[in-house]
Structure 1
Amino acid sequence: MISQAPDQIHGHAVLEMMAQSDHTYTRTSLIAEIKENFGDDARFVICSGGNMTAEVLVDTLAAKGKFVGTEEAFQFDTGTMCNH
């Protein structure tokens, strides 16, 4: 299990939200949904770092290849979920 500060949400929660919603997203719509679900001031942690805003988290997950599609219509690639 990944240790995290109690005030940070693991990025897996966002990926699970995306997988369950079956929506396609743009960067803007994903950030809006993250803020709606987790709060405007939520901070996130993933394997490679923490204290990320929704914007930084989305950019980091995109850079790690977690999304499939185009910039205007992407989804979480469930095959990229790490198992820890």
Structure 2
Amino acid sequence: MENIEHHGHEVLEMMIESGQSYSNQSLQAAIDEKFGLEARFYICSGGGMTASELIETLWAKDKFTGTPDAFVFDPANRCNH
């Protein structure tokens, strides 16, 4: 079965819709539950990322507000494309 790549925005929308804060671990679990353990993700700067790699990349791009133990997606940091 072929893996489908999901855009990182799908993860950010999931975070907004949940209305909750996440830890790195709880976000990983939520992504795995929604998209599956084998899911891959892409963003403007690259693709083929695992959920863990996506989380690291989103942190590096300052998409989250808080600490790795309690954070939310900051919609002010959303790219507009």
TM-score by length of 2: 0.93
- Structure 1 residue 22 displacement after superposition: 1.0
Q: Structure 2: which amino acid aligns with 1:35?
A: D
Q: What residue number does 2:39 align with?
A: 42
RMSD: 1.1
Runs of 4+ residues over 6 Å off in structure 1? none
CA distance in structure 2 between the aligned counterparts of 1:54 and 1:68, rounded to whole angstroms: 18
Q: What residue number does 1:21 align with?
A: 18
Q: What residue number does 1:64 align with?
A: 61
How many matched pairs? Answer: 79
Q: Percent identity?
A: 56
Extract unaligned runs of 5+ from structure 1.
1-5
